């Protein structure tokens, strides 16, 4: 199926019009980006010069004293109330543990040596350390693989914005 000369001429003219429109839109978008960039810069200046000092002054006058008072009260409660109580409880518990442990080791040590041979081999800490080390190594290998693999979808075309083909 062949197009007539008249239709070909009309299609060429339409494609030229579309190309000119596309170029005009690109120029317009460039100007809009410049205006948006300048507006952002002006907004940043306004924030630094007008809003920032007012906010900082309000924080210094109203918020900082309340926070400082709360920190002082919290420090007082922890230092004067909580730490002595917790220290006393922990000290008493450790003393009781030491007494019970000393009594138990005196009797149990002789029985344990005769009845149960000492266990040899890796303990729970060694197994946990090996598992964590293996997990860390796997994580490093996965991150390296993700970084070094070839992914064609991540590349950006060299031609920024070409006119569409009609």
Percent of residues, the chain, with pLDDT higher than 90: 25
Domain spans, the chain: 8-117
Contact call for residues 26 and 164 (beta carbons, < 8 A) = no
Burial code of 117-150, b = ≥16 C-beta within 10 A, e = fewer?
eeeeeeeeeeeeeeeeeeeeeeeeeeeeeeeeee
pLDDT grade for 100, boundaries at 50, 70 and 90: confident
pLDDT grade for 124, boundaries at 50, 70 and 90: confident
Average pLDDT over residues 17-23: 94
Q: Of residues 108 and 122, which shows the higher confidence score? A: 122
Rounded to 10 degrees, the C-alpha dihedral 32/37/41/43 comes to 50
CA nearest 17: which of 9, 28, 29, 27? 9
Q: What is the pLDDT of residues 151-164, one digit of tens each?
A: 655 555 555 566 66
Q: State the DSSP code for 71.
A: H
Q: What is the pLDDT of residues 37-66, one digit of tens each?
A: 999 999 999 989 998 898 889 888 888 888
């Amino acid at each position: 199926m062949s197009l007539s000369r008249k239709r070909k001429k009309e299609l060429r003219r339409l494609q030229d019009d579309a190309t000119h429109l596309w170029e005009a839109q690109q120029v317009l978008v460039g100007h809009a980006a410049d205006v948006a960039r300048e507006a952002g810069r002006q907004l940043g200046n306004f924030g630094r010069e007008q809003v920032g000092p007012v906010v900082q002054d309000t924080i210094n006058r109203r918020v900082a004293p309340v926070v400082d008072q709360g920190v002082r009260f919290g420090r007082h409660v922890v230092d004067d109330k909580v730490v002595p109580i917790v220290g006393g409880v922990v000290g008493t518990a450790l003393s009781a543990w030491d007494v019970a442990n000393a009594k138990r080791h005196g009797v149990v040590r002789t029985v344990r040596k005769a009845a149960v041979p000492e266990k040899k081999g890796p303990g729970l800490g060694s197994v946990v350390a090996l598992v964590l080390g293996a997990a860390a190594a796997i994580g490093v290998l996965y991150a390296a693989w993700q970084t070094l693999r070839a992914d064609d979808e991540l590349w950006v075309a060299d031609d920024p914005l070409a006119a569409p083909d009609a």
